[in-house]
Amino acid sequence: MVALNLAAEMERLPPEAREILRMVGSLVEESRLPSGRLFLVGGVVRDLLLGCPCLDIDIVGEGDALSLAEAVARRTHGRLVVHKRFGTATVRLGEFRFDFAAARSETYSHPGALPEVRSDTLKADLFRRDFTINAMAVDLTVSRWGTLIDYYGGLEDVRKRCIRVLHPGSFVDDATRILRAIRYEQRLGFRMETGTARLLRRDLKMLDTISGDRLRHEIELVLGEERPERILRRGAELGVLQQLHPSLKGNGWLALKFPLVRELAGSAKDMPALYLSLLVYHLTPEEGGQLLDRLKVPGAIRKVVRDALEIKSEVSRMSSSALAPGALYRWLHLRHPLAIRVNALAGAPMVRWYLELFLRQLSLVKPLLSGEDLMALGVPAGSEMGRLQEHLREERLEGRLKTRGDEEALVKKWIERKSGGC
C-alpha cells in the first residue's frame, strides 16, 4: 500500500469544503463511531490527485456515518436528507454535496441484479467499486489526516492514465460500468487498460441485463459530459452503441452536430433531448420507438425524439416542392419545437430554411382579433371559436387577411353562414 499524503492537495479545495472536512475529522474524535475512522472515497480522491474540481464529496465511515451527517448538518445549518433504506445521508451546503455512508460490501445474485449489501470494512467497500482510480480513500481522522489508502493500485493507474476494473467479473456484475468506463476514459483523457478493454468487449452482451432506467441514467450521464460525442464515438468503436441498438452510430456526423447543439440550444435544460434526438436521428421511427421503450424514456423527451424522427421521415415532402406558409404551419404546429430544431440542425440547407421560417416567423403568427373581440362580434365561446381562430391564422399566413378589418369581414361572413345554416 502506498503511504502518500494528500493534505497539500486538500488545501487546494475551496475553503468551505475544506472547513467541512476538518469539522468531519474533529467530529470523529467526539463521535461514537466504533472504529473512529472516516474517509474521503471515490471520485473526489481521483479528482484531488488530478487537480480537478469536485463538488460531490463522498465520505465513508467504518461504522455509524448517519449520526455524523446529522451532526455536520446541525453545525453547518446544511440541508440534510437521510436515505434510511440505503443507510446513507446527504448534506447540501451551497454548491457542495456531501454524501455520508457506512462502509459496505456488495454481492450480486445474478448479472445486472441490484447488489445485496452488508456492512463491511473500508477495504471491502473499495473493492466493490467500478475502477481502480475510483477505489482509493483518504483518511480524515485528525491524526492520519490526508493519508492516501490505495489497496488496488489506483494511484499507479492515475499516473499511467488508465482505466482498469478491479476484477474480471466486474462488467458481468454490473454492465453499467461499460458506459462508465468510456465516459471516464474520454472525460479524463485516459485509456482503457488492454485487459479491461478485452473484458468490456467480451461482456458487451451483459448490457442486456441492465434495466431500462439504469441504462438511461448512464446515457444521461454521458450526454451531460462536456463532449459527449467523443464518448459516443468511442462507444461505437468498442461496439457499445451497437449493443444498445444495431442501427446506432457514433460517427463523425455526431462530432459535427453536437457542437452546434452547444452553440444553439436556447437553454442547458434542452440539451439532453437535442443530443438524444441526434443520436437516434438515423434510425427509422420504428427503430427509434424500440430504443425509447428499451430505455424507458419519459414522456417529455420521448415526444421530442418521436416528433424529430417523424418530421425527418416526412421531410421529403418539403424538398420536392416549395411549401406554402399555411401548409407548413399545418404540418408542424403540433410538433415539439425542439424536434423541429433537431431537424433544422440535422437537415440539408433548404430543409433548415423552411424549419427556421416556421420557428422564427410562422409559429408566432396570430390573428389580430382576440377571443374577446370574437365574442363581441357574436361568436360563441367554445370549440367552434377555436376552429375559427385557426382558420383566421391560416388565412393570415397565406396572406389573404392583412388588416383587422379583413378579419372582421371574414368573421361576419362566418356568422352569417352559421345563422343561415340554422
| List of residues contacting ligand ATP (CB under 6 A) | 42-43, 56, 58, 129-130, 134, 174, 176-177
Assess contact for 134 and 60: CB atoms under 8 A.
Answer: no
Contacts of 10 (CB under 8 A, 6+ apart): 18, 21, 48, 138, 146
**174 or 185: whose CB is closer to ligand ATP?**
174
Pairing mode of beta strands 162-163, 148-149: unpaired
**221 or 377: whose CB is closer to ligand ATP?**
221
Assess contact for 417 and 378: CB atoms under 8 A.
Answer: no
Rounded to an integer, what distance in angstroms lies between the CA atom of residue 264 and that of residue 380? 43
Alpha carbon dihedral 311, 312, 313, 314, in 10-degree steps, equals 50
**129 or 302: whose CB is closer to ligand ATP?**
129
**214 or 335: whose CB is closer to ligand ATP?**
214
User: Cβ of residue 241: shortest distance to ligand ATP, in angstroms?
Assistant: 19
User: Cβ of residue 393: shortest distance to ligand ATP, in angstroms?
Assistant: 47
**177 or 312: whose CB is closer to ligand ATP?**
177
Q: Which residue has the CB atom at the shortest distance from ligand ATP? A: 43
User: Cβ of residue 233: shortest distance to ligand ATP, in angstroms?
Assistant: 19
Pairing mode of beta strands 56-61, 96-102: parallel
User: Cβ of residue 97: shortest distance to ligand ATP, in angstroms?
Assistant: 9
- Could you tell me which of 326, 397, 347, 338 has the C-alpha nearest to residue 367? 397
Assess contact for 200 and 171: CB atoms under 8 A.
Answer: yes
DSSP secondary structure string for all residues of 298-342: -HHHHHHHHHHHHHHHHTHHHHHSPPPHHHHHHHHTTS-HHHHHH
Rounded to an integer, what distance in angstroms lies between the CA atom of residue 282 and that of residue 304? 15
User: Cβ of residue 351: shortest distance to ligand ATP, in angstroms?
Assistant: 37
Rounded to an integer, what distance in angstroms lies between the CA atom of residue 400 and that of residue 224? 47
**43 or 87: whose CB is closer to ligand ATP?**
43
Q: Which three cell numbers stand for residue 357?
A: 421560417
Rounded to an integer, what distance in angstroms lies between the CA atom of residue 208 and that of residue 210? 6
User: Cβ of residue 133: shortest distance to ligand ATP, in angstroms?
Assistant: 8
**134 or 186: whose CB is closer to ligand ATP?**
134
**58 or 307: whose CB is closer to ligand ATP?**
58
**115 or 337: whose CB is closer to ligand ATP?**
115
User: Cβ of residue 153: shortest distance to ligand ATP, in angstroms?
Assistant: 15
User: Cβ of residue 129: shortest distance to ligand ATP, in angstroms?
Assistant: 4
Element (H, E) at 58: strand 56-61
User: Cβ of residue 194: shortest distance to ligand ATP, in angstroms?
Assistant: 21
